[in-house]
């Protein structure tokens, strides 16, 4: 089954404690993205990757890091989480030239 898998789905952490949200897709997609969803703000792109070892900032990259060492994986790293990073995070992927995103189930992060 074609899917985008994120882990963890739910996480409560404290300010400053580094965490990683993993994302994996099994569709051999070139493009992968991270979004955060906040009430009234819709979805905002954090980072995206056009292919292995190619990443770029989205609209709200501050406080986040990403890496793309393998085509299927695109982890999101919060080096020193802060309460304003409390949000619902979605990973998504798409094939070359389609523009159609496939989303993961979401990861709800709370930073105390």
| C-alpha–C-alpha distance, residues 97 and 18, integer Å | 35
| C-alpha–C-alpha distance, residues 58 and 31, integer Å | 13
Tokens of 8: 């963890």
| C-alpha–C-alpha distance, residues 15 and 49, integer Å | 27
- Is residue 62 involved in binding other proteins (CB under 8 A)? no
Tokens of 51: 């292919």
- Is residue 101 involved in binding other proteins (CB under 8 A)? yes
- Is residue 42 involved in binding other proteins (CB under 8 A)? yes
Span of 17-25, 49-57, 62-70, 77-85 interacting with other proteins by CB under 8 A = 49-57
- Is residue 19 involved in binding other proteins (CB under 8 A)? no
Question: Quick one: which of 19, 20, 52, 58 contacts other proteins (CB under 8 A)?
Answer: 58
Size of the site for other proteins (CB under 8 A): 28
Question: Quick one: which of 13, 22, 45, 86 contacts other proteins (CB under 8 A)?
Answer: 45
Tokens of 57: 């900032």
Burial of 33 by CB count in 10 Å (0-12 exposed, 13-18 middle, 19+ buried)?
buried
Nearer to other proteins, 18 or 26 (CB): 26
For other proteins, the binding residues (CB under 8 A) are 31-33, 35, 40-45, 48-50, 56, 58, 90, 92, 94, 96-101, 103-106
């Amino acid at each position: 089954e074609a899917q985008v898998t994120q882990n963890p789905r739910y996480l409560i952490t404290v300010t400053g404690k580094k965490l990683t949200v993993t994302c994996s897709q099994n569709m051999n997609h070139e493009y992968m993205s991270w979004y955060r969803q906040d009430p009234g703000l819709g979805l905002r792109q954090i980072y995206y990757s056009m292919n292995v070892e190619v990443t770029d900032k989205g609209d709200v990259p501050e406080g986040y890091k990403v890496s793309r060492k393998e085509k299927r994986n695109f982890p999101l790293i919060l080096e020193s989480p802060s309460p304003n990073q409390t949000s619902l995070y979605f990973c998504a992927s798409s094939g070359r030239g389609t523009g159609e995103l496939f989303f993961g189930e979401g990861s709800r992060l709370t930073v105390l």
